[in-house]
Chain A
Amino acid sequence: MKLLSIIIKSLKEQWRSFWILILTLSMGPFFIFVYYLIIETSKPHYDVAIINNDKGYILRSEPLNKGEEFILFFTGSVKDSVNMPFFIKKAHDKTDVLQSLKNKKTDALVIIPEDFSEHLVKQQDGDSTTPAEIQFYGDLTNVNYLLSALWANETMNSFIKVSTGSEDLIKISETGIGTSSNISDFDMIVPGLLILSVIMLMFTATIAFISEVENKTIIRLKLSRISTFEFITGITAVQIIVGIISILLTLLTAVILGFEFHGSAAVFILIAILTSISMIAFSLIIAALTKTANEVLIVGNFPLFLFMFFTGAAFPFRSEGLFSLFGYPVTLQGLMSPTHAISALNKIMIMQMKLGDIIPEIIALIILTVIYFLTGIILYRKRHMTLK
């Protein structure tokens, strides 16, 4: 009854603390959106200009222009694969394109010679002695030029093979490791950001605990028959709901922006709940060290930065293991529970592993949560809830 009363009260207060709730719930989706923008705008982009000087050739009364055919072939090969970030533009004035190269608006210029068609036809008939001279222009120190030129050269070779009917001497096959072949940079960052949305729970949870101290209503609670355990459990229950909503909103935003959800939804929810409890437990420690919401916003930033930048939440982070426990590497950042949650989500969502594969992460998460909770309850009770 008392527990239910605390839950109902905490729910009402959480709902009526509208701005702090919005802040917590919007942080995850906001970070997803920001990372999506960063990744999208920083994607490689190669502009190749082609000047076709080819005059064409009349073969068996049929006019042909291999230069034009090459441009169509190049454009077609780019369109066939969404992963090729090449943009082909047909140009006419060499001076303009050279200026564009200097201004970095174009990465490479390919000039097709006047006798390109003639050479290819003669090559096909086997009577060509000198190769057609394709000219490449660009900044040789620029990686974009090197990649553009390499790709243009490769495409040209393919075109010539197709045009002249010559056969490949070798065949190269490429196999991606794991699921890396179809996972983008954005996909890789999503598990960390999902956990980041739960880390933000630290603020609503700590404020929920500390508001009773700040309003001095903790005096009323101390004088009543409610126990510290009931009080903390009630607030925890409400904050878990906030945590689940936060992580689901973040996942929804990621899916809308192109993330593909893999793995078991049940395991995902399990990790979300465990991480929420862990963050609430940590919030209890902060609440024990502070007295007002303002203090929470100042003091809470230190663990927030640690959790954001050293657990892999904001970006992938690796550190050397101090030692190994039952084959599971123990690291310094492993003292922070989100590290294990992110590792578990990566295994489930990126590597498509099963529940059995993340047992070490779940055990680590539970052990750290228990340690946080015990420390938090002892400190909070001693500091704020003991009757003398």
Chain B
Amino acid sequence: MSVPTPETIIKITGLKKSFKDLAAVDNISFEVCKGEIFGLLGPNGAGKTTTINMICGLLPASDGKIDFQSRELKEIKSLIGYCPQENIYFPKLTCFEQLVFMGNLYDIPSDRCRERAMGLLEMLGLINKSKVCAKNLSGGMKRRLNIALALIHDPGILILDEPEAGLDPQSRVLVRNFIKSLSKEKTIILTSHNMDEVDRLADRVAIMDYGKIMLIDTPYNLKNSIGEGDVLEIEIIEESADKTAALISVLKHEYNIIQSGNLLIIKAIHLIDKIHGITSSIKEAGFTIKETKLRENTLEDVFIHLTGRMLRQ
């Protein structure tokens, strides 16, 4: 018995967006399948939000095609729920009022709207704030309200731009679990520069940098195919750039090594057996080791491997 081919909900082909001479999005193509959480991972300025804005129709593409199974614009409007990076809400309406208002704008019957608004407020931990004007909410609450506003019309596709941005740790867990719970019934595209967020949530990840998609795969495959299993991070007190370069050239003979500031990132299989040798070589070269950390390969390592820079740089 063959595995059914997943249904493609959004197909993006050769998408480009330029602002004068700057190519913010440079000829990207990908498909998003029904029911999956698709992550766009990249540093600030990688082109994630521009891509999202083009998918939502808020920004015209310079070139390329976005296809929602050949649907018309009116249908697409009801199909998409958008939670922008910036909190966008009606400051003078209460949480409940604005959810009902937005629901009505999508032609949802009033009774259902009210029921859904209360349900979303409950699920996002805002039920006690239902009668509070949005402008009086805390930053984290505004973020959760923003997610609720994107969902009030029960869209099939949910687009979340940095959903965990500005959230405290408790809210982050709540939102993460909430997004995970939605994945059974909705297709979700989320952008983030937080590799942990994408790693935990996304079924597939597209790594973006300088407007291009560098790789698309599942987090598991990316972590296993890019990199070599273990990662050793050694923070040194750098004395001179030349001396550090000399050290790296020595270590490069045996290991895959990347320098990021004062951090030396070494990747290899079974690194635990090699830590002593590596640290001895560093000390013999006259460096002082500030901190040593051994861990498994992460999406951030994959990103560094692909781009040579860290996500937040």
Q: Which residues of A contact B (CB under 8 A)?
A: 1-2, 4-5, 8-9, 12-13, 16-17, 215-217, 219-226, 387-388
Contacts and interface: CB of A to CB of B under 8 A. Distances in A.
A225 B93 contact: no
Interface residues of B, number: 32
Contact of A9 (B56, B78, B101, B107): B101
A220 B106 CA distance: 11
Contacts of A220: 88, 102, 149
B91 A12 contact: no
Contacts of A12: 92-93, 97
B59 interface: yes
Contacts of B107: 1-2, 225
B92 A16 contact: yes
A215 B90 contact: yes
B159 to A, nearest CB: 10
A225 B106 contact: yes
17 contacts: A9-B93, A9-B101, A13-B90, A13-B93, A215-B88, A215-B90, A216-B86, A220-B149, A221-B105, A224-B77, A224-B105, A225-B74, A225-B78, A225-B106, A387-B57, A387-B73, A388-B59
Interface string B70-108: 000110011010101010111111000100011011110
B308 interface: no
Contacts of A217: 88-90
Contacts of A225: 74, 77-78, 105-107
Contacts of A387: 57-58, 73, 77
B90 A5 contact: no
B60 A388 contact: yes
Interface of B: 54, 56-61, 73-74, 77-78, 80, 82, 84, 86, 88-93, 97, 101-102, 104-107, 110, 133, 149, 153
A388 B107 CA distance: 22
Given A9-B101, A216-B86, A222 B58 contact: yes
Contacts of B58: 219, 222-223, 387-388
Contacts of A222: 57-58
A364 to B, nearest CB: 37
A213 to B, nearest CB: 11
Which secondary structure characterizes the binding site on chain A? helix
B106 A224 contact: yes
Contacts of A9: 90, 93, 97, 101
Contacts of A216: 84, 86, 88
Contacts of A221: 105
Nearest to B109: A1
Contact of A226 (B78, B80, B105, B149): B105
Given A1-B107, A2-B104, A387-B58, A223 B90 contact: no
Contacts of B106: 224-225
A224 B102 contact: yes
Contacts of B57: 222-223, 387-388
Contact of B56 (A1, A4, A223): A223
A221 B98 CA distance: 12
Contacts of A8: 101
A387 B57 CA distance: 5
B77 A223 contact: yes
B88 A219 contact: yes
A225 B106 CA distance: 5
Contacts of A224: 77, 102, 105-106, 153
Contact of A2 (B77, B78, B89, B105): B105
Contacts of B104: 1-2, 4-5
Nearest to A226: B105
A1 B107 CA distance: 8
The 10 tightest CB contacts between A and B, nearest first, are A388-B60, A224-B105, A5-B104, A387-B57, A16-B92, A13-B92, A226-B105, A216-B88, A9-B101, A217-B90
